Amino acid sequence: MNEPIDPGVIELAGRVFDLARAGATEELVGYVDAGVPANLTNDKGDTLLILAAYHAHADTVAALLERRADHGRVNDRGQTALAAAVFRQSSEAVRRLLDAGADPDAGGQSARLTAQFFDLPAMTELLDAARR
């Protein structure tokens, strides 16, 4: 039988997700370094890394990658952190994710498909350069 989740834990998780969205890197990594999982996932399948990438916080993306956040995780919509960064046209976040080994073709709505669908030639160029 499942025990109810402590409201304090829910509040902390919400705060940590908000920090990822806001790009509050130092505070966020303080929580991660203290034991919050780098791959903490919300009810939509979004990880801290996906949220940081979607909100174009390249430094937060880099800090989470340094703490072993999984760049290959896919949310409930089939999107990776790389696809989120491409959608938001965050060149620096895209570079950081590619440098960490993120796959442009991973996920049902991959980064490459996102760049093609939204006609983002600069993003397509970054993704193609990673193949070379």
Per-residue confidence (pLDDT) for residue 76, from 0 to 100: 97
What percent of the chain shows pLDDT beyond 70?
Answer: 98
Angle, CA of 99, 88 and 115, to the nearest 5°: 75
121 lies in some domain: yes
User: How does pLDDT run across 22-70, given as a tens digit for each residue?
Assistant: 999 999 999 999 999 999 999 999 999 999 999 999 999 999 999 999 9
Q: How confident is the model at residue 1 (pLDDT cuts 50, 70, 90)?
A: low
User: How does pLDDT run across 76-88, given as a tens digit for each residue?
Assistant: 999 999 999 999 9
2 lies in some domain: no
CATH of the domain at 18: 1.25.40.20
What total of structural domains would you count in the chain?
1
- Decide if pLDDT at 132 tops 90: no
- Decide if pLDDT at 4 tops 90: no
- Decide if pLDDT at 115 tops 90: yes
Per-residue confidence (pLDDT) for residue 131, from 0 to 100: 75
50 lies in some domain: yes
Compute the average pLDDT of residues 95-118.
97
1 lies in some domain: no
46 lies in some domain: yes
36 lies in some domain: yes
Expressed as residue numbers, the domain containing 56 is 7-131
Per-residue confidence (pLDDT) for residue 5, from 0 to 100: 85
71 lies in some domain: yes
